A and B are shown apart, each in its own frame.
Chain A
Amino acid sequence: MTDPLTPVLTRNWRAERSWSLAAYEQAGGYRALRHALTAHPDQIIALVKDSGLRGRGGAGFPTGMKWSFIPQGPDGPGAKPKYLVVNADEGEPGTCKDIPTMMADPHSLIEGCIITCYAIRANFCAIYVRGEALHPIRRVRHAVEEAYAKGYLGKDILGSGFDLDIVVHAGAGAYICGEETALLDSLEGKRGQPRLKPPFPATSGLYASPTVVNNVETIASVPHIVAGGSEWFRSMGTEQSPGPKIYSISGHVERPGQYEAPLGITLRELLDMAGGMKDGIPLKFWTPGGSSTPLFTAEHLDVPLDFEGAAAAGSMLGTTAVQVFNETVSVPWAVMKWTEFYKHESCGKCTPCREGTYWLVQILERMVHGQGTEEDIDTMLDICDNILGRSFCALGDGATSPITSAIKYFRHEFLDLIAAQPAVARPEQLAELSGASA
């Protein structure tokens, strides 16, 4: 049985100038790289497969398997250049784990990139950081510069004969670029709209070449797996969801922040560590992994927060962005705000997401302003049904999660709005309703 918190990725964050090469090396950094370079690339892929590491960007796809899809060999698609693209476009509401990682420990990401590129035989890696994350961009660029200076990047890395260049690429403000194919289009200098799949990035990604796209936290986990081995990694978490995971707790708790725990921890445990609900006001609803994961309530305090546990309880693990809301917050209002977000961030490519979010926002705004009808609730559920699984990518699906889950657990709040029509008909009362002015 492991401890409740198992700092691995976050372990060195307390160090003085933790982001510097000196601090990183002091803590044993880049030793995993030296070890990895002694292995055959396929052995590293096998190791990561054995470790059971699953993507930390939300979907939880097995990382080693993703790497093994990259065609290798002298002919055909294997002969093309291969690329690693790191998805650091953190923007899912509630999600705030990659930015602190890049801020506090950029070298773990860089070391992970080098090992990953060595494994998949890529000589070019792009780290796509959302543009609004300027300081993390500085930290990562600085780390890249230090790594070049130390011979961890560039030609013939540590005498291995392996070459790698890393470019830190700033995005420009588009949530959709967190979707891996939209990110690739964006990195190619285009509108960040998702691509048709197939072909998948593993065969036709960046510049139509084989490409691995992985999240920051996934790649930062790689040096630790090399250093500790798959058994060590699997000693944390569960059989299907092994390893440690950064849980980001925000909202109405006493001590919001980053808590790295084995996968499978519960909100009850996390809340306890975060000092409980702020000012003792009871919990009303929460997201297990960002706003695209269906809401949970106080009923779900003991749901194990791993890929299987969250799914079994009707939500998703997502990015382990635990947003906690207390009883002062109106659920329809929160849902309206999230839906406004999805409308703003819908890329516009497909009809259901583009038009559906446009419509849903108007219904929700009308309801929150006290002008809704009971029929609106059914209409919203039906619109969600026409978006979920019908849109081009997962953004549309995610947009329906807050609405359908909110109506599932808090239908009465929507009905109350209708009943309370005379009292909340004035827009300026929105603030009262939301608790924003508290």
Chain B
Amino acid sequence: MTLAPDEQKAPVPEGHVRLTIDGREVIAPKGEILIRTCERLGIIVPRFCDHPLLDPAGACRQCLVEVELGGRPMPKPQASCTMTVADGMVVRTQHTSPVAAKAQAGVMELLLINHPLDCPICDKGGECPLQNQAMTTGRADSRFLEKKRTFPKPLAISTQVLLDRERCVLCQRCTRFSEEIAGDPFIDLLERGAQQQIGTAADKPFQSYFSGNTIQICPVGALTSAAYRFRSRPFDLKSTPGVAEFDSSGSAIRVDTRRGVVMRRLAGNDPEVNEEWLDDRSRFAFRYLTSAGRITRPMVRREDGELHETSWTDALAVAAKGLLAAKEAAGIGVLAGGRLTVEDAYAYAKFARVAAGTNDVDFRARPHSAEELDFLAAHVVGTTPDHLSFTKLEAAPTVLCVALEPEEEAPIVYLRLRKAARKRGQRVYHLGQWTTPAVERTSQSLGSAAPAAKDNLIPAVPGAEAAVLRDLPADVVAALSEPGAVILVGERAAEVSGLYSAVSVVAASTGATIGWIPRRAGERGALDAGAAPNLLPGGRLVTDAAARAEIEKAWGLPAGSIPATVGRDTDEILAAAAIGDLSALVVGGLDPNDLADPAAALDGLREVGFLVSLEMHTSAVTELADVVLPVAPDAQRAGSYLNWEGRLRSWEPALDPSGVLPDCRVLDTLAVEMDADLFTQTPAAAAGELARLGTVERKAAPPTVEAGVPSVPGFGQAVLATWRQLLDASSMSVDEPALAGTARPALLRVNAATAERLGLTEGAPATVRTERGSITLPVELADLPDGVVWLPGNAENSRVRATLGAGHGDLVGVSA
């Protein structure tokens, strides 16, 4: 064999090294962990504690390899999960080194001596790294004649995670995940040596919004899901990639079904979006698919005033007849809802213009404003990940969250912010009311100069956010002026007059990139699909004649058939319906209690002449509807969400789609009955047409609303601050007791001085009251501004809008 002279070797690129693994030369970036380099060569070194997204631990010692450095063999085998590559390194894995093979076999034997032989009944059996690697690396027989370690089992470390300690190999993936990724160090190693075990404090279960990830990354069957335990075998499951439907991140998931039933959901692996993580709601909440409230047949309200199941033909005929009559009368309003797929939203947008002949269409089933429409048209619609993405967010030097509580409202965004803060020292400011867990955990940095959490909170009295934002401290302005800085704004900005305008102004003056992060999965897609009163598909302005003409041409409509003025928004549609200025409503997904004024919303729904509801589950709308048309859940249809980045996230059905219809198909058929053609029979058809329309350049002017002035509380009063917690009384979290058990408690928060002024005692109940009703919760002291009281937005015993008819920034009475 002739060796090529050195100079003929490919040059090593800058920042890289050349090494040899099992006789093969490889170039690797400096700092790469050896086990990753091996993977790239297709050499799989067995491992347990190693996880590419966790800090190296080197604890299990399963991945030992032989290493030669500078021509000298290292005296001991090295853990390839902790060692970084070096130039000239020679590595011999189990494939070429008897020493490495023996070391690995030895560690495997030691891992198995105390492992129970309960694989046949273990959930992990069949997809278990320990089982698999025991087959490749383990001995055929056991030399262990002694007593195995046992523990009482299982231990419920929360209502949804069970721990079988004797199966645990103490790799610490779960504890490292909780500490590093989620920032919830509620599980930890307890005891020492052979008695060492994973556990929680006696008084505090593993209450984390991300706990399910520990089940998924557990390399053995030590952590299992209470809801899934003993329910099926991995090899009985059919896996389908999907997209999480609960928030606007569009997380990749894997839906595992068995005989037509979803058994579990796992995080998919998408480095660009959710990496390998998922929040517990997206993971565990899927029984809404089979809940009792699921509507399976069309229904029509007959003369007896009751809804009766009927055929699709009949229901659609009745609906079309009613809508056509309404169109001739005062007109039709369309409330699309925020949870639609892009394809469905497009169908609603088109239905409004083509079948109903109106711009009275809005996807916002929550407090909203005209300022918001202007903001979205000016800054958000049509943006793609080229503008702002998870990756860019992670790389940003500074992030300011405005009207956004990321852990509660966009948990995957929160994980990225925490990662960037922890690993890169990203500065994450929060314009809000108190130092929430998310504020604390996005202030923790591995660097020694981590800012204090309280320094990352920019406090504002509810209603004063816009004024505070326009007058930020100089150091915050400087930080936001760094290249790549980001301002994330949540949909709650609509609840504060002038806040969207202020965001626009600060972004313009600092050069920071704006990211809009709504809470629901469908809002961004609906915006781009044109399900808004000011926008046609692709960001085209309703007020732009050329844009209207373009759309009219594409849709085959006579010129001038799309109204030239901005339509009514959700509140206006409902108000018009209440007084007969609209004769019918087509409602997609809407809970009146999510709106700024639930009573007014109910009035509109009740008073409108004709109400058509497209719904998955019975709701307040169902009770008032004249025609109810059932629609398909995500698991039984193909579709896509446009996530907050503007990234299209598509999926195929995980379950048999026959017998259920997506909204776009229902609307298409309904339109045909009304003598209009939508061409949205399938999601693919709708998506194709929307894509062909393309996106136009944004040219709307940003809003210029003055900063509002906060209310001043009088005696016995406070200004209300509120937002929703991740796990609450949401209709889509029904039938999930295990998940609900990990919800954060509903507490009333207030600062010590205000508590004293109002006569409140920490731990004791206090009551928040308006003329509409009252909410009583235990008090917890927190660092809110003076005169402010915080309530969770939609907890079981704290349904703020429904009960109080009040919202963020309103004055409320507070007493002990």
**Pairwise interchain contact A357-B61, C-beta atoms closer than 8 A:** no
- Docked pose: A145 CA to B21 CA in angstroms: 58
Task: Indicate whether B448 reaches chain A with its CB closer than 8 angstroms.
Answer: yes
Residue ID in chain B nearest A396 by CB atoms: B61
**Pairwise interchain contact A392-B448, C-beta atoms closer than 8 A:** no
**Pairwise interchain contact A362-B146, C-beta atoms closer than 8 A:** yes
**Pairwise interchain contact B114-A358, C-beta atoms closer than 8 A:** yes
Residue ID in chain A nearest B112 by CB atoms: A355
**Pairwise interchain contact B61-A350, C-beta atoms closer than 8 A:** yes
User: Which stretch, B88-96, B102-110, B724-732, touches the partner chain A?
Assistant: B102-110
**Pairwise interchain contact B113-A355, C-beta atoms closer than 8 A:** yes
Task: Indicate whether A207 reaches chain B with its CB closer than 8 angstroms.
Answer: yes
Task: Indicate whether B193 reaches chain A with its CB closer than 8 angstroms.
Answer: yes
Task: Indicate whether B657 reaches chain A with its CB closer than 8 angstroms.
Answer: no
**Could you mark each residue 165-199 of chain A with 1 if its beta carbon is under 8 Å from any beta carbon of chain B, else 0?**
00000000010000000000000000100001000
Question: Whole-angstrom distance from the CB of A123 to the nearest CB of chain B?
Answer: 16
**Pairwise interchain contact B448-A207, C-beta atoms closer than 8 A:** yes
Task: Indicate whether B565 reaches chain A with its CB closer than 8 angstroms.
Answer: no
Task: Indicate whether A280 reaches chain B with its CB closer than 8 angstroms.
Answer: no
**Which residues, 332 to 367 on A, are CB-close (under 8 Å) to B?**
343-352, 354-359, 362-363, 366
Task: Indicate whether B59 reaches chain A with its CB closer than 8 angstroms.
Answer: yes
Task: Indicate whether B60 reaches chain A with its CB closer than 8 angstroms.
Answer: yes
User: Which stretch, A7-15, A62-70, A382-390, touches the partner chain B?
Assistant: A382-390
Task: Indicate whether B613 reaches chain A with its CB closer than 8 angstroms.
Answer: no
Task: Indicate whether A209 reaches chain B with its CB closer than 8 angstroms.
Answer: yes
- Docked pose: A345 CA to B58 CA in angstroms: 19
Complex interface: chain B residues within 8 A of A383 (CB) = 106, 110
Complex interface: chain B residues within 8 A of A346 (CB) = 192-194
Task: Indicate whether B321 reaches chain A with its CB closer than 8 angstroms.
Answer: no
Task: Indicate whether B712 reaches chain A with its CB closer than 8 angstroms.
Answer: no
**Could you mark each residue 187-204 of chain B with 1 if its beta carbon is under 8 Å from any beta carbon of chain A, else 0?**
001011111100000000
**Pairwise interchain contact B59-A349, C-beta atoms closer than 8 A:** yes
Question: Per a CB cutoff under 8 Å, which of A348, A382, A386 touches B196?
Answer: A348
Question: Whole-angstrom distance from the CB of B45 to the nearest CB of chain A?
Answer: 14
**Pairwise interchain contact A355-B114, C-beta atoms closer than 8 A:** yes
- Docked pose: A152 CA to B605 CA in angstroms: 83
**Pairwise interchain contact B144-A352, C-beta atoms closer than 8 A:** no
Task: Indicate whether B77 reaches chain A with its CB closer than 8 angstroms.
Answer: yes
**Pairwise interchain contact A386-B193, C-beta atoms closer than 8 A:** no
Complex interface: chain B residues within 8 A of A157 (CB) = none
Question: Per a CB cutoff under 8 Å, which of B59, B75, B147, B196 touches A392?
Answer: B59
Question: Per a CB cutoff under 8 Å, which of A174, A345, A349, A356 touches B110?
Answer: A356
Task: Indicate whether A379 reaches chain B with its CB closer than 8 angstroms.
Answer: yes
Count of chain A residues near B, Cβ 8 A: 35
**Pairwise interchain contact B111-A351, C-beta atoms closer than 8 A:** yes
Task: Indicate whether A391 reaches chain B with its CB closer than 8 angstroms.
Answer: yes
Complex interface: chain B residues within 8 A of A362 (CB) = 146-147
- Docked pose: A170 CA to B594 CA in angstroms: 57
**Pairwise interchain contact B61-A358, C-beta atoms closer than 8 A:** no
**Pairwise interchain contact A208-B448, C-beta atoms closer than 8 A:** yes
**Which residues, 206 to 224 on A, are CB-close (under 8 Å) to B?**
207-209
**Pairwise interchain contact A355-B106, C-beta atoms closer than 8 A:** no
Task: Indicate whether A268 reaches chain B with its CB closer than 8 angstroms.
Answer: no
**Pairwise interchain contact B77-A191, C-beta atoms closer than 8 A:** no
**Pairwise interchain contact A351-B193, C-beta atoms closer than 8 A:** no
**Pairwise interchain contact A191-B189, C-beta atoms closer than 8 A:** yes
Residue ID in chain B nearest A207 by CB atoms: B448
Q: Which of A348, A351, A359, A386 has the largest number of chain B CB atoms within 10 A?
A: A351
Complex interface: chain A residues within 8 A of B72 (CB) = none
- Docked pose: A385 CA to B98 CA in angstroms: 13
Q: Which of A346, A359, A379, A383 has the largest number of chain B CB atoms within 10 A?
A: A359
**Pairwise interchain contact A354-B106, C-beta atoms closer than 8 A:** no
**Pairwise interchain contact B448-A385, C-beta atoms closer than 8 A:** no
Question: Per a CB cutoff under 8 Å, which of B75, B103, B111, B191 touches A348?
Answer: B191
Task: Indicate whether B76 reaches chain A with its CB closer than 8 angstroms.
Answer: yes
Task: Indicate whether A80 reaches chain B with its CB closer than 8 angstroms.
Answer: yes
Task: Indicate whether B241 reaches chain A with its CB closer than 8 angstroms.
Answer: no
Complex interface: chain B residues within 8 A of A80 (CB) = 448
Task: Indicate whether B129 reaches chain A with its CB closer than 8 angstroms.
Answer: no
Complex interface: chain B residues within 8 A of A385 (CB) = 102, 106
**Pairwise interchain contact A343-B60, C-beta atoms closer than 8 A:** no
Residue ID in chain A nearest B64 by CB atoms: A390
Complex interface: chain B residues within 8 A of A382 (CB) = 106
**Which residues, 567 to 622 on B, are CB-close (under 8 Å) to A?**
none
Complex interface: chain A residues within 8 A of B146 (CB) = 359, 362-363, 366
Complex interface: chain B residues within 8 A of A207 (CB) = 448
Complex interface: chain B residues within 8 A of A352 (CB) = 61, 106-107, 110
Question: Whole-angstrom distance from the CB of A374 to the nearest CB of chain B?
Answer: 14
- Docked pose: A362 CA to B149 CA in angstroms: 12
Complex interface: chain B residues within 8 A of A208 (CB) = 448
Question: Whole-angstrom distance from the CB of A55 to the nearest CB of chain B?
Answer: 19
**Pairwise interchain contact A355-B192, C-beta atoms closer than 8 A:** no
Question: Per a CB cutoff under 8 Å, which of A354, A359, A363, A386 touches B170?
Answer: A354
**Pairwise interchain contact A355-B110, C-beta atoms closer than 8 A:** yes
Question: Per a CB cutoff under 8 Å, which of A344, A359, A379 touches B193?
Answer: A344
Task: Indicate whether B62 reaches chain A with its CB closer than 8 angstroms.
Answer: yes
Complex interface: chain A residues within 8 A of B192 (CB) = 174, 191, 345-348
**Could you mark each residue 101-144 of chain B with 1 if its beta carbon is under 8 Å from any beta carbon of chain A, else 0?**
01100110111011000000000000000000000000000011
- Docked pose: A347 CA to B114 CA in angstroms: 17
Complex interface: chain B residues within 8 A of A386 (CB) = 102-103, 106-107, 109-110
- Docked pose: A191 CA to B59 CA in angstroms: 14
**Could you mark each residue 32-69 of chain A with 1 if its beta carbon is under 8 Å from any beta carbon of chain B, else 0?**
00000000000000000000000000000000000000
Question: Whole-angstrom distance from the CB of A81 to the nearest CB of chain B?
Answer: 9
Known: A347-B193, A390-B77. A358 touches B109 (CB 8 A): no
Complex interface: chain B residues within 8 A of A358 (CB) = 113-114, 149, 193-194
Question: Whole-angstrom distance from the CB of A174 to the nearest CB of chain B?
Answer: 7
- Docked pose: A41 CA to B195 CA in angstroms: 47
Question: Whole-angstrom distance from the CB of B554 to the nearest CB of chain A?
Answer: 60
Complex interface: chain B residues within 8 A of A359 (CB) = 110, 113, 144, 146
Question: Whole-angstrom distance from the CB of A266 to the nearest CB of chain B?
Answer: 28
**Pairwise interchain contact A391-B144, C-beta atoms closer than 8 A:** no
Question: Whole-angstrom distance from the CB of B129 to the nearest CB of chain A?
Answer: 14
Complex interface: chain B residues within 8 A of A350 (CB) = 58-61
**Pairwise interchain contact B193-A348, C-beta atoms closer than 8 A:** yes
**Pairwise interchain contact B56-A351, C-beta atoms closer than 8 A:** no
Residue ID in chain B nearest A365 by CB atoms: B146
Task: Indicate whether B169 reaches chain A with its CB closer than 8 angstroms.
Answer: yes
Question: Whole-angstrom distance from the CB of A259 to the nearest CB of chain B?
Answer: 33
**Could you mark each residue 81-95 of chain A with 1 if its beta carbon is under 8 Å from any beta carbon of chain B, else 0?**
000000000000000
Known: A196-B56, A363-B146. A389 touches B110 (CB 8 A): no
Question: Whole-angstrom distance from the CB of B108 to the nearest CB of chain A?
Answer: 9
Residue ID in chain A nearest B82 by CB atoms: A196
Complex interface: chain A residues within 8 A of B75 (CB) = 389
Residue ID in chain A nearest B48 by CB atoms: A351
Question: Whole-angstrom distance from the CB of A304 to the nearest CB of chain B?
Answer: 24
Question: Whole-angstrom distance from the CB of B378 to the nearest CB of chain A?
Answer: 45
Residue ID in chain A nearest B189 by CB atoms: A191
**Which residues, 398 to 441 on B, are CB-close (under 8 Å) to A?**
none
Question: Whole-angstrom distance from the CB of B206 to the nearest CB of chain A?
Answer: 18
Question: Per a CB cutoff under 8 Å, which of B102, B147, B194 touches A354?
Answer: B194
Complex interface: chain A residues within 8 A of B103 (CB) = 386, 390
Q: Which 8 A-B pairs give the minimum distances between C-beta atoms?
A: A386-B106, A348-B196, A362-B146, A389-B76, A355-B110, A346-B193, A358-B194, A348-B193
Given A355-B114, A389-B75, 20 additional A-B pairs, CB 8 A: A191-B189, A191-B192, A196-B57, A343-B193, A347-B196, A351-B170, A352-B61, A352-B110, A354-B193, A354-B196, A355-B110, A357-B194, A358-B194, A359-B146, A366-B146, A382-B106, A383-B110, A385-B102, A386-B110, A390-B61
- Would you list 17 pairs from A and B whose C-beta atoms are within 8 A, ordered by A residue? A80-B448, A345-B193, A348-B170, A348-B189, A350-B58, A350-B60, A351-B59, A352-B61, A352-B106, A355-B114, A358-B114, A359-B144, A363-B146, A386-B102, A389-B76, A390-B77, A392-B59
